[in-house]
Amino acid sequence: MERKRKLRKSVPDEDREQEHEPSARPFWSGTITFGLVSIPVNLYPANRESRVSLRMLGSGGEPLSREYYAPDTAEDLESMETIRGYEVRKGKYVTITDEELERLAPEKSRDIDLRVFVKRDEIPQLYFKRAYFLTPADKSAKAYRLLAETMDRTRRAGIATFVMRGKEYLVAIFSDRGILRANTLRFSDEIRTPRGVGLPEKREEPPKRIVRQFETAIARLTRKTLDPKELRDEYSEALLKLAEKKHARHKDVVETHAEGRPEKVVDLMEVLKRSLGQNGKKTKRSA
C-alpha cells in the first residue's frame, strides 16, 4: 500500500523542543521564596536557537511536516488516534492515559522554591541545561538587589524547583554582578559517569617532558579575558551569507503564501534596567 503524503504549512519539520524568543511579556512569572522572603520575578530566556535554520520543502516549495506513521499498516495517523506507552521490555509497552498523567503532574504553583544554598563551584557544569534571566516584578527591585548582592558577595548559588507548563524543573539561581539568572539542571540519573563511557579509573603519570610541552602550548594560547568573537557560529554565518547571496541573485528562490507574524526582538538588558529603575523609584516614593 502506497503511503499518502500530506503537507501542512504551519507545522515545522523538525522534532525538537522549540526555543522561545524574548518578547515584551515575560516567558514566566512567579515568586522566589525561601524562609520568610518572597521576591516576585519575571523569567526571560537567556539563549535561543541558531538564527539560521533550514526547512524541508516539497518540489514545489511547499513546507513539509512530519506525521505519525504506522509501518505495519502503511497508514498515517491523526494525533487523536494515538496513545502513549512506556516500553517495559523490548516490544512490550504499558499504556498511560491522559488522566493518569494529570494525576502524576506536580501541583500548580508560581513559586521558585529555594531549598538550599551552596558554593557556586559545587555545581558541576555537566548539570547545566538552559539559561534564563530573572527580572524584578511588582515593586520587588529593592529585595531583588539585596538578594543579588548577597549572593555575589558570598559566591553562593541557590538550588530550587518550580513548575512551568505542568512540569517540575530543577534550577540553580546565580547572581552575576547584580543580575539574577537561573539555569535549569539535569537530574542526577541523567548524568553519565567517566566509567560509563569507557574512561580508565587509574591515571598513569605522564613523562615530565610531555607535561612541559602541554603547559607551553596552553600558555601560548592563554588570554586574560574571553573575547565573545571566539564564540561565533561560523557555520551559521557562512550559511546565512550563502542564502542572502542566492536571494540577491534570484537564484533557487521558491515562494509560498504562508502568512507569518513578524518577529519581535527585545533587549533583555534594557528590560532589566527599566524594571530595576522603575521599581526602584516607586519603592523610594512609597518609603
Q: Is 176 domain-assigned?
A: yes
Confidence (pLDDT) at 5: 43
Question: Cα separation of 66 and 36, whole Å?
Answer: 49
70: pLDDT strictly greater than 90: no
9: pLDDT strictly greater than 50: no
Extract the C-alpha cell encoding 95.
499504556
Q: Is 160 domain-assigned?
A: yes
Which domain, by its residues, includes 158? 19-48+101-194
pTM above 0.85, yes or no: no
More confident residue, 36 or 21: 36
Question: Cα separation of 160 and 34, whole Å?
Answer: 9
283: pLDDT strictly greater than 60: no
How crowded is residue 114: how many other Cβ atoms within 10 Å of its Cβ? 21
Extract the C-alpha cell encoding 144.
531583588
Q: How many domains, in total, are found in the chain?
A: 1
Tens digit of each residue's pLDDT (9 = 90 or more) over 163-178:
888 888 999 999 988 9
Extract the C-alpha cell encoding 285.
516614593
Range of weakest confidence among 69-73, 203-207, 253-257: 253-257
196: pLDDT strictly greater than 60: yes
More confident residue, 277 or 153: 153
Confidence (pLDDT) at 133: 93
Tens digit of each residue's pLDDT (9 = 90 or more) over 106-157:
777 889 999 999 999 999 999 999 999 999 998 899 999 999 999 999 999 9
Q: Is 29 domain-assigned?
A: yes
**What's the mean pLDDT in 226-244?**
82
**What's the mean pLDDT in 48-67?**
80
Q: Is 117 domain-assigned?
A: yes
Q: Is 166 domain-assigned?
A: yes
- Crossing angle for the helix pair 268-286 and 141-154, nearest 10 degrees? 120
Q: Is 257 domain-assigned?
A: no
14: pLDDT strictly greater than 70: no
Q: Is 114 domain-assigned?
A: yes
Pairing of strands 28-34, 111-119: parallel
172: CATH: 2.40.290.10
Confidence (pLDDT) at 151: 94
Q: Is 148 domain-assigned?
A: yes
Torsion of CA 217, 220, 221, 224, to 10 degrees: 130
